[in-house]
A and B are shown apart, each in its own frame.
Chain A
């Protein structure tokens, strides 16, 4: 697609429920990132995919959070047993690669999925 698409744009759920957030990166981008942004703060790294594999998941806060990218394009961030502290905007970004040309490092972000846990 022309840009990074994230769905849903808004999700309101109750504490304890399961949530899935979807990211559709730019076609051909091999690198995909998930970030979480709370109000008034910069994005906080969660996980990075290169192709189908999670190359760095050091930012996932605990085992309630999991992400997949089975075919190397669309990614899904899954949150189990949601807590009120999970409320934030979840941002997805993609880039064409990890090194080499300058453009390979330029991140293109989606508009984000705003998650509210009541």
Chain B
């Protein structure tokens, strides 16, 4: 059974810092991995999707990498801003199912 963990559980940084969020999964037989953002009381917004054959995806100040063999993905946020404050979740889809298994999330606070 796939299990997804995220470290750290919470992170507080001053504005302007570059930061890395980590996601680990136990079963490397994945089809793809997505990073989401969730604001308090809101649904999830997809940020980046990486197919299993890809190593990384970039969107603006966000860069997500995938190392399938080691069961790890990282989300890199450059030049963080207070508006980046949210909970970031990763989710993996296995090769043999259609559902996504989510991690517990990292709660990010960017201080002005």
Contact = CB atoms under 8 A, between A and B. Distances in A.
A8 interface: no
Contacts of B104: 40-42
B99 A43 contact: no
Contacts of A31: 98
Contacts of A105: 31-32, 34, 49, 93
B44 A91 contact: yes
A44 interface: yes
B33 to A, nearest CB: 10
Contacts of A4: 43
Contacts, number: 65
Interface stretch (A13-21, A64-72, A75-83, A108-116): A108-116
A4 B44 CA distance: 11
Interface residues of B, number: 25
B76 interface: no
B46 A102 contact: no
Interface size class of A (residues with CB under 8 A): 20 to 34
A109 B89 CA distance: 13
A89 B103 CA distance: 16
B41 to A, nearest CB: 8
A22 B77 CA distance: 35
Interface in A24-69: 31, 33, 35, 40-45, 48, 50, 55-56, 58-59
Interface of B: 4, 31-32, 34, 36, 41-46, 49, 51, 89, 91, 93, 97-105
17 contacts: A42-B104, A43-B91, A45-B100, A56-B97, A56-B99, A58-B99, A91-B44, A98-B98, A105-B31, A106-B49, A107-B34, A107-B44, A107-B46, A107-B100, A109-B45, A111-B42, A112-B42
